[in-house]
Structure 1
Amino acid sequence: MVGGSPGGEQLRLLVTRTMPFGKHKGTLIADLPGNYLNWFAREGFPPGEIGRLLALMHELNHNGLASLLDPLRPGGRRGRRGGA
């Protein structure tokens, strides 16, 4: 991220990278439930890239912007929260 703004590559990783551990192992970062992201926000995000991605997803989710990721998904499909 440059200047605190996420770049296209970080956003793309949210819809391609899966959670590597825990209760939601194997779930796309973009599809993690809000309460799980909120837990990390309270308890602390893990170090490294996964922590940065989780923090970014938390911000998008918290601000109601998760649907902005839909065009970046393979095939442009909607996420778990997107419905339809």
Structure 2
Amino acid sequence: MAEKTFESQMERLEEIVRLLEKGEAPLADSIKLFEEGTKLSASLGKMLDKAEQKVTVMQENMQGELTEQPFDAEEAGK
């Protein structure tokens, strides 16, 4: 089975949240939806962690050479 995309997993998680918020599903179905949602949430978190690790910022060092630096979200927000 092919790995689902971030977007498709996020859409499914949003759908699960909507279904649970309605409160119309029987308890057994709600539990299954909740379990699926927690698995999706964990998977999405891992995907975001991997993406963050890949993000790098190119900085010019003192000699004018380009070097790769890990992305620092806090620093970028300043």
Same fold at TM > 0.5? no
More strand by share: 2
TM-score by length of 2: 0.32
More helix by share: 2
